[in-house]
A and B are shown apart, each in its own frame.
Chain A
Amino acid sequence: MNNMIVLPMVIPILTAILLVFLRRRIRIQKWLSIGSLLLTIGISIFLLNQIQTEGILRLDFGGWKPPFGILFVADSFSMLLVLTTSIVSAVCLLYAFYSLDEKLEKLFIYPFIFFMIAGVHGSFLTGDLFNLYVCFEVMLLASYILAAIGGTKKQLRESIKYIAINVLSSWLFLVAIAYLYGTLGTLNMAHLSYRIAEVGQTPILTVISILFLVVFSLKAGLLLYFWLPGAYSAPPTAIAALFGALLTKVGIYSLFRIFTLLFYHEPAITHTIIGVMAGLTLIAGSIGAIAFKDLRQIISFNVVIAVGFILVGLAVSTAVSIEGSIYYLIHDMVVKGLLFLLGGTIIALTGTARIDKMSGLIGNYPLLGWLFLIVTLSLAGVPPLSGFIGKVLVGKGAIDTGHYLLTALAIISSIFVLYSLLRVFLNSFWGETIIQIEDEMPLRKGLIIPCLLLTVGTIGLGFGTEYLAPYVRDAAHTLTNPHIYIEAILEGKIP
């Protein structure tokens, strides 16, 4: 029992409500929002360390013992993601402070960002399936508005499609919950896991698990990613960075929870399907990443490739590969945020998103160029940077269990990532300088400092893997041994 677990969700909600009343006081809004995120970061670090000493923490709302009440559960996996989310969103907010124009800032954009963060944190922390649905909807409703805010033609067009596909996937989520409740009669995740283990994973439960797979694949962009490139290329840069860093990761988190905690008894069926989907995602994402000349499309397809890569770790499902996936998930949140911010900055400076129309930017903006090179290398998984350890561990896990084809696809996809981003780098930064010194738009400090912070993050993650290792190992240990989770929740008293 620890009442602090609820704070990562409550602080953003309270902040958002407070910001609604401060509509015209932009300066106070900015200070308040950064302050509350720093507080959330501090609390997450504290909780993460407390989990190491005390094991999984849980909070039963209203004192109702599980499985009868709703509860929040904090294990290392969810707390690591909550911490990364808070850090990345704090940096994206810093970028938003300098890049958004005042008209948007007065349209309640900061409150909606905080509602979205609250939904993301709630999804990571909840221990109840229907509460997960509600947290998803909190996150999605805020993201619908953030996708459309400003109301340009492109945003309206893309947000219509984004809402339509998410209404459909939320409907499927409800249907899956209804079937699961009808079969097992409970919604608490630990209790569900216990009951599934008790009756064995019957064919009907496997079908329901595949329904869940479809739902979360739609949310995460695993194979069913067709809505993603459009929706992520329409909104303003800071918002797109938040989307790219957070939204698909919640789907990935849910896939990991569902298939390590609930439906782990028939890996020959479910995990094989995940493996096939992950492989196809890697192929399709790689093709998309090199097919376009639009910078935003290239970046969006890189999100798709990363989703496929992380899910390879789940398909293999050994302790090593899941550890690799967790490293890569954390790395990817930081680096995708950085990639979107850099891409948006380049587009804002050159006034075009097409890479064949830009050239020689390194002469004007050397710092931006070198940051882009670092993010390219980090995404490809070059050793001193953060993408390396995740790729190695996922690859090792896949080879150990004989998934050679998936290993090959995962490694080849890294080459495609490297190629697609180096193509951007060579086209836009190398070559003849086309922007004259006198027409050069100054690169404002406010835009480059957030990028620098995230670059420090990716380098720090690469060098500081040792410090992160105990937390990640604990997270992977809990994921591969679901009975630890069940015992922490139900305390051996099965009703």
Chain B
Amino acid sequence: METLMIILAGILVMIATYLFLSKNLIRVILGSAILSHAAHLLIMTMGGLKTGSVPIIGEKPLAYTDALPQALILTSIVIGFAVTALFLVLAYRTHRKLGTDNLAQLRGTHDE
């Protein structure tokens, strides 16, 4: 199971890298969102995917799954969400003000 998940995370990283290197601003933001999905999957996988009950005390099983990676992911999802929201708004503002979403045209002149 871990092998499959790692391959999946790798494919996500591949797609995200491709999108990150494109010239369109929205594609870069999409790339950053996919990157964070890959990271969250990876944290989940590195914590171990052994079968066990959900980490809720009332269940009384023999074994629980590791609760720590889930807390880490929850934290980093929220942070990633905030950053993506800010990034999107900034992209919108840039598009309104500069009239382009092409990163190659965001170079600027030497002297302003």
Contacts and interface: CB of A to CB of B under 8 A. Distances in A.
A157 B83 contact: no
A167 B47 contact: no
Contact of B79 (A137, A159, A164, A181): A137
Interface of B: 20, 25, 28, 32, 35-36, 38-40, 42-43, 45-48, 68-69, 72, 75-76, 79, 82-83, 86-87, 90-91, 93-94, 97-98, 103, 106, 108, 110-112
B33 to A, nearest CB: 9
A179 B46 contact: yes
A159 B108 CA distance: 13
A153 B112 CA distance: 10
B90 A160 contact: yes
B47 A157 contact: no
B94 A156 contact: yes
A153 B86 contact: no
A157 B112 contact: no
A405 interface: no
Given A160-B90, A164-B20, A178-B46, 10 more contacts: A130-B72, A130-B75, A134-B75, A153-B112, A156-B97, A168-B20, A168-B35, A171-B35, A174-B40, A177-B43
A354 B93 contact: no
A153 B90 contact: no
| Most B-side CB within 10 Å, residue of A151, A168, A174 | A174
B83 A181 contact: no
A154 B25 contact: no
Interface string A377-420: 00000000000000000000000000000000000000000000
The residue in A160, A182, A294 that gathers the most chain B C-beta atoms within 10 A of its C-beta is A160
A148 interface: yes
Given A157-B108, A160-B106, A148 B90 contact: yes
A227 interface: no
A154 B47 contact: no
Contact of B111 (A157, A175, A354): A354
Contacts of B28: 164
B42 A178 contact: yes
Dominant secondary structure at the B interface = helix
Contact of A171 (B39, B46, B98, B103): B39
Given A141-B83, A182-B47, A151 B93 contact: yes
Given A174-B39, A178-B39, A179-B46, A157 B86 contact: no
Interface size class on chain A is: 20 to 34
B72 A156 contact: no
A145 interface: yes
A310 to B, nearest CB: 28
A365 interface: no
Contact of A181 (B38, B40, B69, B91): B69
B39 A175 contact: yes
Candidate in B42, B46, B47 with the most chain A CB atoms within 10 angstroms: B46
Contact of B42 (A130, A133, A151, A175): A175
A156 B69 contact: no
Interface string A150-173: 010110111111011001101100
Given A157-B106, A167-B35, A181 B94 contact: no
A160 B101 CA distance: 11
Nearest to B32: A167
Interface string A324-340: 00000000000000000
30 contacts: A137-B79, A144-B86, A145-B86, A153-B98, A153-B108, A154-B108, A156-B90, A156-B97, A156-B98, A157-B98, A158-B108, A160-B90, A160-B106, A163-B90, A164-B20, A164-B28, A164-B32, A167-B35, A168-B20, A168-B32, A170-B83, A174-B36, A178-B39, A178-B43, A178-B45, A178-B46, A181-B43, A182-B48, A294-B111, A354-B111
Closest 5 CB pairs of A and B: A182-B46, A174-B39, A178-B43, A178-B46, A156-B94
Contacts of B94: 156-157, 160
A65 B94 CA distance: 48
Residue with the greatest number of chain A CB neighbours at <10 A, chosen from B36, B69, B76: B76
Nearest to B84: A167
A156 B91 CA distance: 8
Contacts of A178: 39, 42-43, 45-46, 69
Contacts of B42: 174-175, 178
Interface string A234-273: 0000000000000000000000000000000000000000
B87 to A, nearest CB: 5
A154 B36 contact: no
A183 B7 CA distance: 19
A181 B47 contact: yes
Contacts of B43: 174, 177-178, 181
